[in-house]
Amino acid sequence: MKIGNYTISVIEAGDFGLDGGAMFGVVPKNLWSKVYNIGDEQNRIPMVTRCLLLTSPERTIVVDTGCGTKLSEKLQKIYKIDYSHNSLLSSLANHGVKPEDVTDVILTHLHFDHAGGATFFENGESVPTFNKAKYYIQKDHLAWARNPTEKDRASFFIENWEPIISNGMMEILDGDGELFTGISVHQFNGHTKSLQMVKITDGNKTLVFPADLFPTSAHIPVPFIMGYDNFPLTAMDEKRKILPQIADEEWIVCFEHDAFTPAGRVIRTEKGFSLGMKVEL
Ligand SMILES: [Zn+2]
């Protein structure tokens, strides 16, 4: 798909699974099971780590990086991490992109399933995966990640971002704004502090990558929020505020963790909002 100067592709960076109950918070299984696969015998629902590739004649931009290759075997098992179908680098290679071609990496936030692929172990040392790129994170999120609460501490591993900062490759953003013509970032605070949603628009067509604000298409309805969210009422407010605009302006929403629906439009229903048409990128 093309928007403005950019060709937009989804980059599948591996499969994983999280507890269905945790993914749907207070929504009972007999409701969420109508809109999402109920998963395996350990109650882990099928999920993916989907990233975006935005290419123009000048830039090759990656948004989020999946779980990466640094997790212990124990954690890989817990989270059912599976690279047998695809991985960040194999999917980029399928699009003719080598790590050194990437000019920019926008990290929505630093939870390991978004930032794990930002670095990799080389001779036992964590180094940036994209050695010529500039990486971007929000200042308030970085502060949160460096001093996490007990609630989301298990999702933060400093080897995913500190080597990028110490190499001088991280641009620490302070607020919303346009990063490049037609590409802007917008903060949300419900899931974690200062997660940045990426928006690509040419004034006519708009695509958003909201990360864990809408992790799957089943999370479109306002009350369908995750047990993982640090500030659930804030997450609901943020969804309530943005959904009318998403629906009425026919934005395409890319769902980072949805194993079945990579992207789609949102429609109004008598009960609120839900997935409309799926969209192929
Ligand atoms: Zn997250």
CA gap 139, 132 in Å, rounded: 22
Contact 52, 8 (CB under 8 A): yes
User: Which residue has tokens 């790590």?
Assistant: 99
CA of residue 109 to ligand 1 center, whole Å: 7
Full pLDDT tens readout for the chain, 281 residues:
999 999 999 999 999 999 999 999 999 999 999 999 999 999 999 999 999 999 999 999 999 999 999 999 999 999 999 999 999 999 999 999 999 999 999 999 999 999 999 999 999 999 999 999 999 999 999 999 999 999 999 999 999 999 999 999 999 999 999 999 999 999 999 999 999 999 999 999 999 999 999 999 999 999 999 999 999 999 999 999 999 999 999 999 999 999 999 999 999 999 999 999 999 99
Task: Show the beta-strand stretches assigned E in 167-243.
Answer: 170-173, 177-180, 183-188, 195-201, 206-209
CA of residue 192 to ligand 1 center, whole Å: 7
C-alpha closest to that of 221 among 242, 239, 199? 239
CA of residue 119 to ligand 1 center, whole Å: 17
Return the pLDDT at 234. 98
Return the pLDDT at 216. 98
C-alpha closest to that of 98 among 70, 129, 135? 129
CA of residue 168 to ligand 1 center, whole Å: 24
CA of residue 57 to ligand 1 center, whole Å: 31
CA of residue 270 to ligand 1 center, whole Å: 30
User: Which amino acid is present at 281?
Assistant: L
CA of residue 152 to ligand 1 center, whole Å: 9
CA of residue 111 to ligand 1 center, whole Å: 5
CA of residue 191 to ligand 1 center, whole Å: 7
Contact 263, 279 (CB under 8 A): yes
Buried b or exposed e, range 12-43, using 16+ CB within 10 angstroms: bbbbbbbbbeebbbebeeeebbebbeebeeee
Q: How far is CA 33 from CA 45, 214, 216, 273, in A?
A: 10, 17, 13, 18
CA of residue 215 to ligand 1 center, whole Å: 9
Residue 78 neighbours by CB under 8 Å, 6+ apart = none
